[in-house]
């Protein structure tokens, strides 16, 4: 078969090169793109640093101290445990799923070189489990320097615990209320000691409905229930500080930030398409678990915070809680009602 004719591509009349055809005179397009890419990366880095928020700068060691963290096998709980173990503390991880807890504990032991990290079973959806855990802790541990009420659920369906309580209010508030009160003898004997309760900026707009705490009569709203439970955290921490004044036990409440953790799994369950669409932006605009643990760590290890007992912290600084979270009359009433519900005396 004869060879086909040879073709050559000639420039368009009046245009000397492809660079000129594309308008890239002098080959500037590539350097300009690289410059814009570099600027974009710098902007993203600055944005990520800003979103990361405050950082705990204290280098205070925790050797000889015992720290208890609930919800410790994942997210900010795990990162809090990791940092406290790195500082030399004995870390007790209170978790519902022991197999996942042991994997998390082993990872922390390996990464920090601290073998004094132990796990214990605690199901915050059961007051019986809380009482059993507290008794075992009091019988076996010599001291308790820091109690971190970290575990929580967010915007789950309307579930009831074995005690008949709505799950968000029970897990986020009532069980931590009972746990803290049962462990007070150890906290007092270890003073100066601290109680840190993880709340959320979602307490803003929340309301404690004493006539229907568990949504028995009104329509259940996952968001309103979550807001109520987080407001209860703020009020509990404030009232605890008031009742423990002069005891050597301090109480702090923290907002960790908006964080990429498993806590939001129920939100994606309610709105799966929205969750899928927002997953990539969320990775850019949310804190990492390590960043989210910084305010908890700040309140746990920073010296001289005793005079800030009862305050609300965010980004490693005191912030003003919502007006609903500064209502001392509601805080006292919530304490008395919570004590009645879990079956303990209301005084510290």
Q: What are the tens digits of pLDDT across the range 174-203? A: 999 999 999 999 999 999 999 999 999 999
pLDDT bracket for residue 31 (50, 70, 90): confident
Residue 92 pairs in a beta bridge with 68, 118
- pLDDT tens digits, one per residue of 129-184: 999 999 999 999 999 999 999 999 999 999 999 999 999 999 999 999 999 999 99
At 58 the three-state DSSP class reads coil
* CA triple 288-290-291, angle to 5 deg: 65
Half-sphere exposure of 112 (CA within 13 A, CB side): 24
The answer to whether 312 and 203 have CB atoms below 8 angstroms apart is no
- pLDDT in the model for residue 347: 78
CA of 54: how far to CAs of 27, 57, 258, in Å? 44, 9, 13
- Model pLDDT, residue 21: 43
Q: Which of 22-36, 79-93, 97-111, 220-234 has the lowest mean pLDDT?
A: 22-36
Asked whether the bond before 192 is cis by omega within 30 degrees of 0, the reply is: yes
| Active centre residues (catalytic) | 226
Examine the pLDDT at 9 and tell me if it is beyond 70: no
Q: What is the pTM of this model?
A: 0.83
How sure is the predictor about 13, in pLDDT bands with cuts at 50, 70 and 90? very low
- In sequence order, the 6+-apart residues with CB closer than 8 A to the CB of 115 are 109
**In the predicted model, is pLDDT for residue 2 greater than 50?**
no
Reference 51, options 263, 280, 283; nearest CA is 283
pLDDT at position 293 is: 96
* Cα–chain center distance at 112: 21
For the chain, the residue count is 348
Q: Which residues, in sequence order, are bridge partners of residue 317? A: 314
Cα–Cα distance, 109 to 227 (Å, whole number): 35
3-state secondary structure of 46: helix
DSSP state of 259: B
Average pLDDT over every residue of 236-254: 98
N-to-C CA span, the chain: 102
Mean pLDDT over the full length of the chain: 87
Which tokens hold the place of 98? 């022991």
DSSP H helices, 113-174, are 127-140, 167-169
Higher pLDDT, 279 or 328: 328
Closest CA to 337 of 109, 125, 165: 165
């Amino acid at each position: 078969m004869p060879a086909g004719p040879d073709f050559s591509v000639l420039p368009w009349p009046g245009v000397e090169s492809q660079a000129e055809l594309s308008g890239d005179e002098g080959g500037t397009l590539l350097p300009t793109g690289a410059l814009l890419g570099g600027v974009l990366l710098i902007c993203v880095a600055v944005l990520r640093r800003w979103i990361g928020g405050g950082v705990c700068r204290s280098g205070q060691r925790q050797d000889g101290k015992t720290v208890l963290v609930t919800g410790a096998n994942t997210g900010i709980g795990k990162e809090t445990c990791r940092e406290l173990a790195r500082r030399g503390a004995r870390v007790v991880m209170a978790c519902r799923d022991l197999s996942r807890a042991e994997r998390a504990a082993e990872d922390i032991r390996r990464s920090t070189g601290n073998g004094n990290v132990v796990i214990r079973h605690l199901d915050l959806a059961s007051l019986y489990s809380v009482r059993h855990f507290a008794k075992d802790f009091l019988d076996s541990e010599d001291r308790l320097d820091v109690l971190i009420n970290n575990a929580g659920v967010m915007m789950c369906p309307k579930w009831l615990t074995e005690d008949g309580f709505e799950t968000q209010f029970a897990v986020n508030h009532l069980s931590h209320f009972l746990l803290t009160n049962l462990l007070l003898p150890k906290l007092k004997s270890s003073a100066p000691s601290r109680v840190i309760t993880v709340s959320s900026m979602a307490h803003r707009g929340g309301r404690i409905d004493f006539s229907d705490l568990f949504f028995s009569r009104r329509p259940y709203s996952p968001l309103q229930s979550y807001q109520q439970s987080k407001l209860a955290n703020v009020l509990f921490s404030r009232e605890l500080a008031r009742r423990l004044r002069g005891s050597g036990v301090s109480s702090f409440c923290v907002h960790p930030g908006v964080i990429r953790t498993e806590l939001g799994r129920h939100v994606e369950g309610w709105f799966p398409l929205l969750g899928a669409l927002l997953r990539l932006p969320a990775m850019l605009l949310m804190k990492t678990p390590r960043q989210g643990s910084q305010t908890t760590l700040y309140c746990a290890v920073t010296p001289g915070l005793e005079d800030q007992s009862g305050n609300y912290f965010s980004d490693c600084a005191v912030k003003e809680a919502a007006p609903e979270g500064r209502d001392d009359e509601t805080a006292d009433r919530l304490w008395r009602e919570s004590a009645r519900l879990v079956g303990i005396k209301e005084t510290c």
